[in-house]
Amino acid sequence: MFIKVLLTVIFLCVTVAVGIYSRKQANSVEGFVLGGRNVGGWLTAFAYGTSYFSAVVFVGYAGQFGWKYGMSASWIGVGNAVIGSLLAWILLGKRTRLMTRFIQSRTMPDFFGTRYGDESLRVIASIIVFVFLIPYTAGVYMGISKLFEMGFGIPYEYCAVIMALLTAVYVILGGYKATAINDFIQGIIMLFGITTVIAVVLNAQGGLTNAIQEMAKVVPNADDLAHDKAGLYANFQPGDFASWFGPNPMSLLGVVILTSLGTWGLPQMVGKFYSITDESAIKRGTIISTIFAFIVAGGCYFLGGFGRLYLASAFYEEKGKFVYDNIVPMMLQTLPDILIALVVLLVLSASMSTLAGLVLTSSSTMTLDLIYRDKKSTEGEVTGGEMDDIVVEKIERRKVVVMRVLIVFFIVISLMIALNPPQFIAQLMGISWGALAGAFLAPFMLGLYWKGVTRLSVWACFIWGVGLTVVNMLIGNPINPIDCGAIAMLGGFIVVALVSIFTPKMPTQQVEHIFQCYEHNS
């Protein structure tokens, strides 16, 4: 216990120290939200990866999908690396950086308002961001708290409150730069932690070969079959849990799409491309981010795929309900104390980095796109007349203060949900990702490439993504939230394309001016 407490205290002290170190760069809006748009490839890549993978993945997704699909769950990690990281950086990195700088956009709602010349889009997008980032944040709390409860014996509620307070401290002090530096430190811990834990867990199962042979013998239990409403095991064959594509490849594909493609439309992920320093940093970041995802995401799902080798009775709660979120913590419970400390630091690192990105995104969106909504011309320049430098500086500082207050507000709300969680971690994340990426992915990505996207098509996609997710939730989730999220994202492209064809086009001069950003190519 002394070792576990010592390592955790050292880690937490370092994160707070980074916040103090970065505070001088967080006095302006540009510095607080985007790190002055001067963050290098390494820091951006690790910020992207650590925001991507949190306790939601390590505890919630790895446990649930490892149980459902066996070893084939590893494909989710591969999809996260190839689609969620490599292709995201290639297709979005450079164009996002160039266009957002050109139109002076600081947030995703700001992008929608300026790119499509409609301030109402900016307002509605900011409300969507604020509302649907809350369940995701609650899921992050739940994941880390379960690991702390297992490793330290501290009640779940205390863990959630402690993590919230510490994250708030370093984000409020140092803003995005503190978050990025801490993400780098936390990313190193995640890389070392996941590789070590996998090696030890497999060794406990007699090695990789023996673990695979044992997985080939496993079949769904009676409880699996009794609650299999989606027909996941309808065509199950012996050995499916150790096969390449598992018991249900199509269902697995839906998870890959949601968890991989979804990052392209999430404001806390895309925002990383706003702040990167130059094109060479993007090239470095692409490689680093992809390798990071292969190791961390691939490792998490690979580890979770062996969950059925452990005693299933340990995964039930007192009322007899099977809890997917208990699988990974129970798998790790037999590890030596030093490794449990490493696991706690691993998940703490992943969760605090994700939480920091979420609260910073939400607070900056509410401040810049709702409370202090600067009007812009079609060129993205702030209008309203010239102001004295002292007045401008005061307004900037006031905005930063408001963002810091909203960080606390956002953390409190999501903490309250986490203390009374309505669903499993994976479902919370599915609802959040489905609504956000379903609404934003298509109009954001197509807006970077296609001049023909219309304002009405963006409105239609907002209604489609949020409407489908909310209606599905209100009528009792007849479509699994994860599958619903995948449908919302892919369907968004069809919605934007069709509506754009049949609705009035944006002024040609306005669109041509915005797309001049790619001619500078710098």
As a whole number, the mean pLDDT across the chain is 83
Give which of 87, 18, 486 is closest to 253, Cα–Cα. Answer: 486
Give the DSSP H/E element, type plus range, for residue 15. helix 2-21
pLDDT of residue 151: 64
Q: How far is CA 475 from CA 128, 328, 470, 479, 484, in A?
A: 20, 31, 9, 10, 13
pLDDT of residue 428: 63
Rounded to 10 degrees, the C-alpha dihedral 139/140/146/147 comes to 150
Residue identified by tokens 């690396």 is 81
pLDDT of residue 143: 62
| Phi and psi at residue 353, to the nearest 5° | -65, -40
Q: Is the pLDDT of residue 401 over 50?
A: yes
The pLDDT-based confidence of 174 (bands split at 50, 70, 90) is confident
Number of H helices, E strands in the chain: 24, 0
pLDDT digits 0-9 by tens, 421-466: 655 555 666 678 788 999 999 999 999 999 999 999 999 999 999 9
What are the b/e assignments for 313-325, b being 16+ CB within 10 Å? eebeeeeeebbbb
- Cβ–Cβ < 8 Å for 279, 273: no
Q: Is the pLDDT of residue 124 over 80?
A: yes
pLDDT of residue 381: 52
Give which of 355, 304, 330 is closest to 166, Cα–Cα. Answer: 355
Q: Tell me what percent of the residues of the chain surpass a pLDDT of 70.
A: 88
Q: Is the pLDDT of residue 380 over 60?
A: no
| Phi and psi at residue 263, to the nearest 5° | -65, -25
- Cβ–Cβ < 8 Å for 428, 477: no
Residue 308, both tokens:
């059925």
* Region 345-368 average pLDDT: 78
The pLDDT-based confidence of 150 (bands split at 50, 70, 90) is low
pLDDT digits 0-9 by tens, 8-29: 788 778 888 888 887 777 677 7
Please give the full DSSP string across 295-328, using - where no structure is assigned: HHHHHHHHHHTTGGGS-GGGGB-TTS-B-GGGHH
| Euclidean distance between CA atoms 295 and 83, whole angstroms | 15
pLDDT of residue 429: 65
Which of 111-120, 140-149, 464-473 bottoms out in mean pLDDT, i.e. has the lowest? 140-149
Which of 148-157, 430-439, 496-505 bottoms out in mean pLDDT, i.e. has the lowest? 148-157
Choose between 467 and 159: higher pLDDT: 467
| Phi and psi at residue 421, to the nearest 5° | -70, 135
Contacts of 313 (CB under 8 A, 6+ apart): none
The pLDDT-based confidence of 70 (bands split at 50, 70, 90) is very high
- Cβ–Cβ < 8 Å for 274, 96: yes
Q: Is the pLDDT of residue 44 over 70?
A: yes
Q: Strand, coil or helix: what is 276? A: strand
Residue identified by tokens 């995401």 is 297
Q: Strand, coil or helix: what is 439? A: helix
Give which of 86, 494, 24, 39 is closest to 278, Cα–Cα. Answer: 39
Contacts of 108 (CB under 8 A, 6+ apart): 125, 129, 267, 270, 271, 365, 440, 444
Q: How far is CA 146 from CA 185, 191, 330, 425, 446, in A?
A: 23, 21, 10, 11, 40
Residue 521, both tokens:
């190519």
| Euclidean distance between CA atoms 303 and 195, whole angstroms | 10
pLDDT of residue 147: 65
Structure pTM?
Answer: 0.84
Q: How far is CA 29 from CA 48, 96, 290, 408, 433, in A?
A: 21, 19, 30, 17, 27
pLDDT of residue 378: 47
Residue 381, both tokens:
């320049």
| Euclidean distance between CA atoms 356 and 177, whole angstroms | 11
Classify residue 55 by burial, with Cβ atoms within 10 Å: 0-12, 13-18, 19+.
buried
| Euclidean distance between CA atoms 160 and 6, whole angstroms | 19
Choose between 227 and 500: higher pLDDT: 500
Q: Which of 18-27, 40-49, 73-82, 118-127 has the highest mean pLDDT?
A: 73-82
| Euclidean distance between CA atoms 348 and 151, whole angstroms | 12
- Cβ–Cβ < 8 Å for 251, 64: no
Give which of 201, 460, 191, 121 is closest to 350, Cα–Cα. Answer: 191
Rounded to a whole number, what is the largest CA-CA distance in the chain? 74
* Region 457-484 average pLDDT: 89
pLDDT of residue 78: 95
Give which of 190, 171, 175, 183 is closest to 43, Cα–Cα. Answer: 183
pLDDT of residue 377: 47
- Establish how many alpha carbons lie within 13 A of residue 496's alpha carbon, considering only the half-sphere containing its beta carbon: 26
Q: Is the pLDDT of residue 195 over 50?
A: yes
